[in-house]
């Protein structure tokens, strides 16, 4: 596993999943989807759209540099895990 992949995994684990799981998951998903969209590799089933007139890196928070260093397959894997967690939060009524 490369260092960028390990660093991303650690950052997600250290984020606020206990206090604000929905906000944390959505923030990570948007950042990962924006980076993948920029690469032309965002999975269609994620239904990500950067907006009508915006480059995804201009939306909200800028895409962190550490995402740029993670390979595409790893970002898709992380995004898929977050998508599953997001679905569990919706079923549990913990979305907003």
Q: How do the domains of the chain map onto residue ranges?
A: 3-91
Contact 4, 69 (CB under 8 A): yes
Q: Is the whole-model pTM more than 0.85?
A: no
**Segment 48-76, tens digit of pLDDT:** 887 765 565 554 555 567 788 889 999 99
- At residue 42 the predicted structure's pLDDT band, cuts being 50, 70 and 90, is very high
3 or 24, which is more confident?
24
**Segment 6-19, tens digit of pLDDT:** 777 777 777 766 77
For residue 87, the model assigns a pLDDT of 95
With 0-12 / 13-18 / 19 or more C-beta atoms within 10 angstroms meaning exposed / middle / buried, residue 59 is middle
With 0-12 / 13-18 / 19 or more C-beta atoms within 10 angstroms meaning exposed / middle / buried, residue 47 is exposed
């Amino acid at each position: 596993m490369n260092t960028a992949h390990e660093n991303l995994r650690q950052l997600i684990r250290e984020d606020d999943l206990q206090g604000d799981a929905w906000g944390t998951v959505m923030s990570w998903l948007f950042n990962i989807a924006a980076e993948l969209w920029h690469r032309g590799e965002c999975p269609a089933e994620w239904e990500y759209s950067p907006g009508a007139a915006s480059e995804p890196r201009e939306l909200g928070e800028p895409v962190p540099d550490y995402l740029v260093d993670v390979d595409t397959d790893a970002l898709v894997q992380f995004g898929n895990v977050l998508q599953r967690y997001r679905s569990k939060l919706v079923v549990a009524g913990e979305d907003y």
